[in-house]
Structure 1
Amino acid sequence: MEPDLDRMAEIAQGIRRRVLEHTVKNNGGYMSQACSAAELLAACYGGAIRLAEVEAPYEPPPFTQVPAPGLDPISGAVVHGPASPGADRFIISPAHYALVVYAALIETGRLAEHALEQFNADGSTVEMIGAEHSPGFETTTGSLSQALSQAGGIALARKLKGDTGRTWVFLSDGEFQEGQTWEAVQALAHHHVSGVRVIVDVNQAQCDGPMEDVMRIEPVADRLRAFGASVDVVDGHDLTALTQAMDRESDKPHFVLAYTDPARGLPLLEERRPVLHYLRFTSEDERAKYADAYAELAGRSL
């Protein structure tokens, strides 16, 4: 089936709009991640990943207790539909992208429209930093970069069982500064786990500033190939190139390095460079400027 690129573009626009609305109303949000990853998550949830269908948008329950023997655990994987041998799995690694993930789930009818009203509230599963009970998150990914290892274990188990579905992982580029990421790539290549597909938001920005200044990772494509992976390098805002790269067959673990702009669709963010990681307003005047930007983006004011 050909990807519906127009629908994916609508989802991407909706992601930016929802995250900006939330950020203005709550005086803070991971806005640059929404700008950089909107097309990536729109492609993932818009059909490029073969997720199972859901009967209705998920109503996130309250978080009442930690998992324990005899209790049914709450799993954020429920928004990805029932598990089956032929369905894909989708593991989100950068847990701070949670707000962006929730927006994508709402845009695609997998999460209830009002779910963001519970965001970061005491006792809510709609956490600011996604955990295994948060919508869209199948696992808790640690302080950073444990999801690729987790996905490798899942994919290897699926391979041994004869499942035909792939196991997808969404990574941020900062995770290539972590040794565990490279150990995972090496293990996937060694065990010939070709069913792992990795989408990377290469927005070249992180908490402490530009990647180049904190710890450079380039040439990351060459390094991945040296570790035994196959790689496509694309413009992460080009849905045609992105979906074609995601669909490419490979007999190796496959990485799509999607180079993105953390101010895409919101030029006002350029004033914040070089530190774009989290947007909290410095004054009511600045907040008003972003409210005006929302009105321009959404066609209505707050």
Structure 2
Amino acid sequence: MATRPTSTKPRKTPRRPNTRTTEEIALGIRRRVFEHTIRNNGGYLSQACSAAEQLAWLYNEELHIGEPTLPPLPEPFGGVPSATNSGYHTGAGYNGPALPQFDRLIFAPAHYALVAYATLIEVGRLAPEALGQFNRDGSSVEMIGAEHSPGMEVHNGTLGVGLSTAAGLAWGRRRKGETGRVWVFMSDGEVEEGQTWEAVQAAAYHGIDTLNAIVDVNAQQCDGAMSSVMDVRDIRQKFEAFGAVVAEVDGHDVAALRRAAKTPHPGQPLIILAKTNPFKGMNHLERRFPRLHYVRFKDEADRAATNDAIAAELGVSPVDYSR
């Protein structure tokens, strides 16, 4: 289980201790994203399919983080940082206080935000009611996550800047004598960006071995299958050539993720390539391949059929979205 010492800032309501396995949490993430997508007539379903085990494992086992410092039900967007906005904060407080001994998480693909929120709910760091604020005017629970959104520390999008941000953060923390690691959750579409490779090269050159990244290798992006947009070829070979230590695993195998995190990498960043299935647990989505980035229902019959089919696969009742 992840270490969760007492925060320096208490929450408004106590958080219930988690007793579920990582696999159970992953299933809960998929179910929650599915329900939200059906109720809202669209959503990022395939990202939950591919990333559920990775995020469940990070929060439930791997990350060394403290208790949340922000309320279970997020406050409205508080505006941008300024001299007159002293109460500004990022969403990183849901990952605990930024103390020297704690890990930090940079969440790079902003379009995975719904999956990130579902994860925070499933591990007890965010109230289930928070999804009622999703994509609402004035809400910090953004559809495309921003630096003020729950679980987010900086705004990254999917333009390849997440790894650079994390490398700089890890380098600065080392200079300050902080012992906590910096983890990055990123998508494989980011390897199409040159900045990703500059970040790996710089981290290796400076010996930043407190930098760890896990890449959701689901071979999908907004325009379809990555192979049809830009063939990135052997990304393991590339990461190693630029100076990283690489562990390549089945991203749905929690035991494999555990082993990968223990890979020795003195003086080098660690990159875990988690190969995943973008319709894992929701095989009904395969018929939409390769258009899986955002699931939209073409009509009411499509929505109803998807509801019935995926509910059966996930072992839950179809969502009653008439209310």
Judged with a 3 Å threshold, the aligned counterparts in structure 2 of structure 1 residues 58 and 265 are, in CA distance, closer, same or farther, namely same
- What RMSD, in angstroms, separates the aligned Cα atoms of the two structures? 1.8
Counterparts of 2:75 and 2:69, CA distance in 1: 17
Shift of 1:127: 0.1
Judged with a 3 Å threshold, the aligned counterparts in structure 2 of structure 1 residues 136 and 85 are, in CA distance, closer, same or farther, namely same
Identity %: 53
Aligned residues: 302
Q: Which stretch of the first structure deviates more once superposed, 286-295 or 32-41?
A: 286-295
Q: 1:34 touches 1:100 (CA, 8 Å); kept in 2?
A: yes
Shift of 1:294: 4.5
Any idea what the Cα deviations from partners look like across 1:10-40, whole Å, max 9, x if unmatched? 1100110010101001011010000000001
Counterparts of 2:230 and 2:172, CA distance in 1: 34
Counterparts of 1:70 and 1:298, CA distance in 2: 50
Q: 1:5 touches 1:239 (CA, 8 Å); kept in 2?
A: no
Counterparts of 1:176 and 1:103, CA distance in 2: 26
* Structure 2 unaligned spans of 5+: 4-17
Q: TM-score, normalised by structure 2?
A: 0.89
Judged with a 3 Å threshold, the aligned counterparts in structure 2 of structure 1 residues 260 and 204 are, in CA distance, closer, same or farther, namely same
1:31 aligns with one of 45, 54, 77: 45
Q: 2:109 touches 2:157 (CA, 8 Å); kept in 1?
A: no
Shift of 1:261: 0.2
Q: 2:188 touches 2:218 (CA, 8 Å); kept in 1?
A: yes
Q: 2:78 touches 2:88 (CA, 8 Å); kept in 1?
A: no
Q: Which runs of 4+ in 1 moved over 6 A?
A: 1-6
Counterpart for residue 301 of structure 1: 318
Shift of 1:205: 0.7
Q: TM-score, normalised by structure 1?
A: 0.96
Q: Which stretch of the first structure deviates more once superposed, 52-61 or 102-111?
A: 52-61
Judged with a 3 Å threshold, the aligned counterparts in structure 2 of structure 1 residues 258 and 208 are, in CA distance, closer, same or farther, namely same
Q: 2:2 touches 2:60 (CA, 8 Å); kept in 1?
A: no
Counterparts of 1:162 and 1:105, CA distance in 2: 29
Q: 2:29 touches 2:115 (CA, 8 Å); kept in 1?
A: yes
1:123 aligns with one of 138, 146, 149: 138
Any idea what the Cα deviations from partners look like across 1:150-179, whole Å, max 9, x if unmatched? 111110011111111100001100000001
Counterpart for residue 185 of structure 1: 200
SS at match of 1:197: strand
Counterparts of 2:249 and 2:304, CA distance in 1: 35
Q: 1:5 touches 1:240 (CA, 8 Å); kept in 2?
A: no
